Amino acid sequence: MKLAALRPAFRGSCHSPARGSPAATEVRILDDGAQLQGRGAPAGGAGSPPPGRAVRIAIAGQPNVGKSTVFNSLTGLDQHVGNWPGKTVEKKSGFVRFGQATVELVDLPGTYSLSAHSAEEEIVRDYLLFQPPEAVVVVVGAATLERNLYLVAELLAFNVPLVVAVNMMDVAAREGVELDLQSLQTALGLPVTALSAARNEGLEALRVCALATARGPRAAIAARPSSRPEHRPIIRHLMQLLDGNIPSAYPLEWLATKLLEGDPRLTQMARASLPPHALAELDRLLHAHEDAFLDIVGGRYDWIREVTRAVVRRPRTDVVSLTDRIDRVATHPTWGLLALITILGLTFWLIYGLATPMVNLLAGATQTLAAVARTALAAWPAWLSGLAIDGLLSGVGMVLAFLPVMVLFFAVLGVLEDVGYFARAAYVMDRFMHALGLHGKSFLPLFLGFGCNVPAALGTRILEDRRSRLLTLLLTPLVPCTARLGVIAFLAPAFFGARAALVSSLLVAFNILIIAFLGLVVGRLMPRQTPPAFIMELPLYHLPMPRTLARFVWHNTRSFVEKAGSIILLASAGVWALSRLPTGDPASSVLAWVGRGLEPLGVLMGLGDWRMLTALLTSFVAKENTIATLGVLFAGQAQHTPWPALVAAHLAPAAGLAFLVVQMLFIPCAATLSILRQEAGWRWASLSVLLQLAISIGMGIAVFQIASRVGYG
């Protein structure tokens, strides 16, 4: 009943019934008369030269539909990653061959709708308005079809050919959801293809279909959602007001509908372009129909119900799916929390159990290598071999030695995110985050912070209100990242022997308590607005995809290795030079002079040795530098003993503990600080640095004083 006239406007059928086998696809390209022959030959071996210009196809979709897997599977490693102009949102694109055509694939940010709530939604909207591609592939999840079609309903208002790619057919099958895609295609009047991108199924059919749609006749009129009868005269009236006054890129009816929905950015644009009398009329109309948004959004869902009526069959409510079964525990108020703690505990245990022996092995190998190099480079000038061995090898080598910790940690984080557990953790933590005036979503960036604070700080963008963002940004750099956990993993065994794992776990628990306490205090001080809305999707569980996982681990590990090869290399050389200049004797070097200046403070923490303080200072460049600097400063004297033991020999247990506490809570690293400044401004970033400086030193002093008094001096 809400369907506009349904005309089968596209000529070929893209629907591929049985798991998207390419043979089931018949597509005719009408403009050049040629039958598309591309059958799994993406990399240009087909003979004839590519047509002059690349066909531009964009990929859109709501979050959690596997859009990036689809994009990655279609482009492979041939991706260009940059930023959307004027925005700090990542833009991925790539040139690929679809059959014999060259296609530029553009990955649009994942968005639930096209109302300008966020930078992502504005990007998608502006892209479709001002650089319309030749086709848009909208990825929807098979098991969550109805909600995912909401984006399709919005996209239909643009004059861009659409292909609907129904992904995660395998997940839907497992959850007992049955789909009739032929009926969906008929009801939508849009080409539909079936996909299981994770299993590489249906990709070829999608290539063929997308290309055919991009090149096909432009007459495609799908079954669009229409506005409610009572709103039609208002929309017509708005269109009359707008006609001729606004840039021609905006489709009139779409703009009128968006104004009625109350879109702030478009309202501003329209108000700025209208002549005074029309402006008054516009304001009057919009004011009189302020509640229209519910009907307009509802109208899109009415359309969805119409088109999916004969398409989706869900299992009866008493059938328990895999997701239900896992969620009985994972989202339970008590068991869910225990599950979260267990998962975190297991993660650390796994890393200590598996990675630490490897780290020690690699660190040992580095020292052996250094010893060999010392003999081999005996003929070199002392300063040059010193720089190479004590500076670069001991610094960078030590940092690279805890690569296993990184890889393992990112692998665990990647799995937890990929299977869909993250959202459950946020759900369970919501009630605790409320104590800070935050909600569950704030837990996600904090959780991510265990990997690296940089993506965690960027991750605060999922929070809609400024107060939540600022408070979460302030807490994020206090989360001990892999680099800091690596330093602990490296030094704790030397400091505490058999009790290293216990002490390390306690340190992490202590750190989490500090974060909670700081959140409580600062949350009290920040003016509370109305509590932010908590609406979050819980994706269906699915198996982690090795490719997505490998990409995640590789992406994060690579940036770590690059850091080791660039700033840590430079910092190690710099630290070495400053520890030798001007006399060549470390004890009278520039660095020693700086470190000694700080000694009065250090003594309070049991860290009277200038080398320990210097290590802390250099950790600002990158947290791994703590190890690199200690390596440089101690390696020279440790020809035979491993240098961590030498460090431990210099420190009382209480001082060792204080050192680990301070390095864990110390100021944000340079990369994190730059993100803090970008996201929250200089004042907030400075506050963050000062606060952490005070907390770390205060805690360092407290821990040392207490520990040495109870007998660990």
Partner 1 sequence: MTQPQTSVETVLSLVAVGQTALVLGLHGGRAVGERLAEFGLVPSARVSVLRNSRHGPLLVAVQGARLALGRGEAAKVRVIVEPARTGHE
Q: Which residues bind partner 1 (CB under 8 A)?
A: 112-113, 115, 117, 143-148, 150, 177, 261-262, 290-291, 293-294, 297-298, 301-302, 304, 312-314, 316-318, 323-324, 327, 331, 333, 423, 426-427, 430-431, 439-440, 531, 533-540
Q: Which is nearer to partner 1, 320 or 581 (by Cβ)? A: 320
Helix (H, G, I), strand (E, B) or coil at 231: helix
State in angstroms the smallest separation of the CB of 632 from partner 1: 49
Residue 85: left if φ>0, alpha if ψ -120 to 50, beta else—which one? beta
DSSP one-letter code for 50: P
CB of 471 to partner 1, least distance (A): 17
Q: How far apart are the first and last CA of the chain?
A: 81
Provide the minimum distance between the beta carbon of 149 and partner 1 in the complex, in angstroms, as a whole number. 9
Residue of 413, 411, 405 whose CA lies nearest to 483: 405
Buried b / exposed e over 463-497, threshold 16 CB at 10 Å, is beeebbbbbbbbbbbbbbbbbbbbbbbbbbbbbbe
The answer to whether the CB of 474 falls within 8 A of the CB of 538 is: no
Give 153 or 208: the residue with its C-beta nearer to partner 1: 153
For partner 1, the closer of residues 40 and 333 by Cβ is 333
Long-range contacts of 590-595 (CB under 8 A, 24+ apart): 591/633
Q: Is the CB of 326 or the CB of 343 nearer to partner 1?
A: 326
Shorter beta-carbon distance to partner 1: residue 263 or 390 = 263
Mark out the alpha helices in 132-202 (DSSP H runs): 145-155, 169-174, 181-188
Cβ proximity to partner 1: between 37 and 529 the closer is 529
- Nearest distance from residue 246's CB to partner 1, in Å? 23
Shortest Cβ 74–partner 1 spacing (Å): 25
CB of 142 to partner 1, least distance (A): 10
For residue 135, which amino acid is it?
Answer: A
Q: Considering the complex, what minimum distance in angstroms separates the CB of residue 300 from partner 1?
A: 8
Amino acid residing at 356: T
CB of 535 to partner 1, least distance (A): 5
Strand partners, 250: none
Q: Which is nearer to partner 1, 129 or 297 (CB)?
A: 297
Element containing residue 124 per DSSP (H, E): helix 119-130
Q: Which is nearer to partner 1, 134 or 263 (CB)?
A: 263
Using alpha carbons, list the distances in angstroms from residue 311 to 147, 151, 267, 305: 14, 18, 37, 10
One-letter amino acid identity for 271?
R
CB count, 10 Å around CB of 81?
11
List the structure tokens of 361. Answer: 């092995």
The CB-of-354 to partner 1 minimum distance in angstroms stands at: 33
Q: Which is nearer to partner 1, 276 or 333 (CB)?
A: 333
| Nearer to partner 1 among residue 419 and residue 494 (C-beta) | 419
**Residue 174 Cβ vs partner 1, minimum distance, rounded to whole Å:** 15
CA distance linking residue 342 with residue 421, whole number of Å: 13
Residue for token pair 């009398």: 277
Q: What are the structure tokens assigned to 57, written together? A: 């196809």
Question: Beta 192-194 vs 80-83: how paired, if at all?
Answer: unpaired
Q: Closer to partner 1 at the Cβ: 424 or 611?
A: 424
DSSP SS3 for 403 = helix
Contacts of 526 (CB under 8 A, 6+ apart): 437, 467, 470, 471
Closest approach, Cβ 616 to partner 1, in A, equals 40
C-alpha neighbours within 13 Å on the C-beta side of residue 45: 5
Nearer to partner 1, 148 or 257 (CB): 148
Q: Which helix (H) or strand (E) holds 703?
A: helix 682-707
- Length of the chain measured in residues: 713
Residue with tokens 């956990």: 485
Structure tokens at 167: 């992904």
Would you say 160 and 132 are in contact if contact means Cβ atoms under 8 Å apart? yes
CB atoms within 10 A of CB 600: 9
> What is the nearest approach in angstroms of partner 1 to the Cβ of residue 138?
16
Selection from 356, 371, 360 nearest residue 398 by Cα? 360
Distance of alpha carbon 191 from the chain centroid = 31
Nearer to partner 1 (CB atom), residue 203 or residue 426: 426
* Residue 272: CB minimum distance to partner 1, A: 21
Considering the complex, state which of residue 402 and residue 541 has its C-beta at the smaller distance from partner 1: 541
CA-to-CA dists, residue 690 to 525, 611, 667, 668, 682, angstroms: 17, 23, 8, 10, 12
If the CB atoms of residues 196 and 323 are measured against partner 1, the closer one turns out to be: 323
Least distance in angstroms from the C-beta of 502 to partner 1: 32
Q: How many CB atoms lie within 10 A of CB 42?
A: 19
| Smallest separation (angstroms) from partner 1 to the CB of 124 | 14
